[in-house]
């Protein structure tokens, strides 16, 4: 099969099916009225170490006045967000937070999740998530029909049970990745390769 992007309506299925597994940013924000929002985004990654910077890129919402979904709209208004890591134990709750809710309702409540106070930002983090990055907005970049949100990590929460000798241990972090459609993957099946000199 050969695909010319100009000849198909969308490359979403091909991109989302081939670039796998994708880490999931479970982003919590608080709107200017104080309502907490929580939504998952699988276009997510770390992009820099100094300063520590992460990004997620929601698809725009043509139905909203600003063209943005709640999460990027809240980030633009407040300059803050928290990225919570999705593990197997909270995967179903994460999926619940993907629902479209009426204004004024919080996904934390819909999914019966516990709000935990953040240290440097207003939005709460998900208490059930073992790793959370408190972020301040660095930049928002329009990329076609999406908005890339870049955030500087201001504080990190790491649960003791996913550490060894004071460091995050990937063998203990049961992270979940996004595949395509309704499929997800765990990181339980691992192998090691030594990097060549």
Tell me how far apart the alpha carbons of residues 9 and 23 are, in angstroms, rounded to a whole number: 26
**For the segment 78-89, what is each residue's pLDDT rounded down to a tens digit?**
999 999 999 999
Q: What pLDDT does 67 receive?
A: 83
Domain ranges within the chain, ordered by starting residue? 24-177
**May I ask the CATH class of domain 24-177?**
mainly beta
Torsion angle (degrees, nearest 10) of CA 172, 178, 181, 185:
-30
**For the segment 111-170, what is each residue's pLDDT rounded down to a tens digit?**
999 999 999 999 999 999 999 999 999 999 999 999 999 999 999 999 999 999 999 999
pLDDT class of 37 with cuts at 50, 70, 90: very high
> For the chain, what is the mean pLDDT?
95
pTM of the model: 0.94
Q: Which two tokens stand for residue 83?
A: 């990225």
pLDDT class of 43 with cuts at 50, 70, 90: very high
């Amino acid at each position: 099969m050969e695909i010319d992007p100009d000849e198909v309506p969308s490359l979403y299925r091909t991109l989302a099916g081939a670039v796998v597994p994708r880490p999931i940013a479970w982003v919590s924000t608080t709107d200017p009225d104080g309502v907490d929002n929580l939504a998952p985004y699988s276009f997510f990654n770390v992009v820099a170490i100094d300063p520590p910077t992460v990004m997620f890129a929601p698809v725009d919402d043509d139905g909203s006045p600003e063209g943005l979904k709640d999460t990027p709209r809240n980030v633009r208004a407040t300059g803050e967000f928290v990225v919570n890591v999705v593990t197997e134990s909270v995967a179903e709750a994460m999926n619940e937070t993907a629902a479209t809710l009426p204004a004024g309702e919080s996904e934390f409540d819909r999914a019966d999740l516990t709000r935990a106070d953040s240290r440097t930002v207003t939005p709460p983090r998900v208490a059930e998530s073992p790793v959370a990055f408190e972020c301040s907005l660095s930049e928002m970049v329009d990329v076609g029909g999406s908005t890339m949100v870049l955030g500087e990590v201001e504080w990190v929460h790491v649960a003791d049970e996913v550490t060894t000798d004071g460091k995050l241990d990937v063998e203990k972090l049961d992270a979940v990745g996004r595949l395509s459609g309704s499929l997800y993957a765990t990181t339980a099946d691992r192998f090691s390769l030594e990097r060549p000199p």
